[in-house]
Amino acid sequence: MSKNIIVEKIDYTPVEQQQVELVERKGIGHPDSIADGLSESVSRALCRMYLERYDRVLHHNTDETQIVGGQSSPRFGGGDVLEPIYILLVGRATTEVNGERLPYRSTAVRAAYEYLKNHFPNLDLETDTMIDCRIGKGSVDLRAVYESKKLLSNDTSFGVGYAPYSHTERVVLESEKFINGNLKRRYKETGEDVKVMASRMGDTINLTCAIAMVDRYIPDPDHYQSAIAEICQKIADNATKFTDLAVSVDVNTADNYKNGTYYLTVTGLSMENGDDGSVGRGNRVNGLITPFRPMSMEASAGKNPITHVGKLYNILSKFIAEDIAAAAKGDVLEAEVRILSQIGRPIDNPQTCSVQLITAPGANYKKWEKEAKAIASNWLDNIDVVTKKIVNGEITVF
């Protein structure tokens, strides 16, 4: 079967050789990332419910979660959440089969509750949140497409991926993981709402990190200032593991110690005090926001992992690009992949699969053209592997 794979050589300056590069990552506690995480956890829970009952994943899309920020009054030594965070679970699901109603709403709410419980230890779920589920029955036409024996795309959409990461991208990704990982084990003062922004100019990466600090662990301004100074140095030290470029780090630059302005929170999450969140407004499936790279605006989190190409193709494009870059071992400086399908078309036979390569000077382009096409074709033949990884929680989509 023809998969409409077109491989071509492109000629422009690779990102790492450009003078300026901007990269962002919203951490797991950012309101947009929380919306993504909730949507994806609900989707996986529905997948498990359908598989247990019918040995197949039924139609659903839970990619419209909304977060409405609450109100809080943080203070050194411990403050209060004054108004709870409102979480609205929205989307479509198969709600009954052969006249049997399914517990889709309780499944969704339980999944959301468990996700928040497992990731945000300073959040009191009983008093600080309100979870509302308004997931309803899906469109008959879309379900008909979904339920055909041949897996057909239930949307006309595309996915985008690239590889390898630049030094700046790697530093941003690993810095957020470090802040919400090893650093947190040393500094319980840090919350999960973290954002890392990088501006590389020439050979210097400038990192700006916003880290919500948890007030109950910070008795006074001196403790806060000391912790921020130490955290700043730890982030800089960690960054040297991923690049030989110079790295400068600033943390919580909106603070004004003279005026008594500090980034204090009760829960470690900015959504406690007015910050809202929506699915798809944050990181792409590679965990980053990269204005100097090709990106899809598709919200991947929460979409069904069986036939929604807006989800599958973003992940698949990333895998194809990564495999090409890994195989080339430096012969391919950048691989960019874009895959488009039409609604009703077999998911393993896209309308277009574009692979663009920037090859290193002296590299054998014809060799990598052939290899890239084979890698893309193999992944399309085995697209069900992507589905299994998503359902098993092996893939992060934000």
pLDDT in tens, 322-373: 999 999 999 999 999 999 999 999 999 999 999 999 999 999 999 999 999 9
Q: What is the pLDDT of residues 200-230, one digit of tens each?
A: 999 999 999 999 999 999 999 999 999 999 9
Fold of domain 5-15+155-164+284-391: GMP Synthetase; Chain A, domain 3 (3.30.300)
Tell me the CATH architecture of domain 31-146.
Answer: 2-Layer Sandwich (3.30)
For residue 150, how many other CB atoms are within 10 A of its CB?
Answer: 9
- Describe the chain by its helix, strand, coil percentages, rounded to 5: 35, 25, 35
Tokens of 56: 């197949």
pLDDT of 369 reads: 97
- Superfamily of 167-272 according to CATH: S-adenosylmethionine synthetase, N-terminal domain (3.30.300.340)
Question: Where along the chain do the CATH 3.30.300.340 domains lie?
Answer: 167-272
- Token pair 């895959």 in the structure block, residue: 339
Listed in sequence order, the residues at least 6 apart from 392 whose beta carbon sits closer than 8 Å to its beta carbon are: none
User: What percent of the chain clears pLDDT 90, i.e. is strictly above it?
Assistant: 91
- List alpha helices for the chain, DSSP H: 31-54, 104-119, 125-128, 140-146, 167-179, 182-186, 221-239, 309-328, 365-381, 383-391
pLDDT of 175 reads: 98
Question: What are the E-state strand segments in 238-378?
Answer: 246-251, 264-265, 277-278, 332-341, 352-359
The Cα–Cα gap between 365 and 370 comes to 9
As a whole number, the mean pLDDT across the chain is 95
pLDDT of 142 reads: 52
- Token pair 């071992």 in the structure block, residue: 329
Question: Where along the chain do the CATH 3.30.300.280 domains lie?
Answer: 5-15+155-164+284-391
Q: Is 314 helix (H, G, I), strand (E, B) or coil?
A: helix
Question: Where along the chain do the CATH 3.30.300.10 domains lie?
Answer: 31-146
Listed in sequence order, the residues at least 6 apart from 284 whose beta carbon sits closer than 8 Å to its beta carbon are: 160, 290, 295, 296, 300, 314, 398
Q: Region 16-37: what's the mean pLDDT?
A: 98
Tokens of 11: 């000629």
The Cα–Cα gap between 77 and 260 comes to 15
Q: Is 304 helix (H, G, I), strand (E, B) or coil?
A: coil
pLDDT of 138 reads: 63
Q: Which residues of 60-76 are buried (b: 16+ CB within 10 A; e: fewer)?
A: bbbbbbbbbbbebebeb
Tokens of 225: 């200032």
For residue 21, how many other CB atoms are within 10 A of its CB?
Answer: 22
Q: Is 53 helix (H, G, I), strand (E, B) or coil?
A: helix
Q: What is the pLDDT of residues 177-203, one digit of tens each?
A: 999 999 999 999 999 999 999 999 999
pLDDT of 140 reads: 47
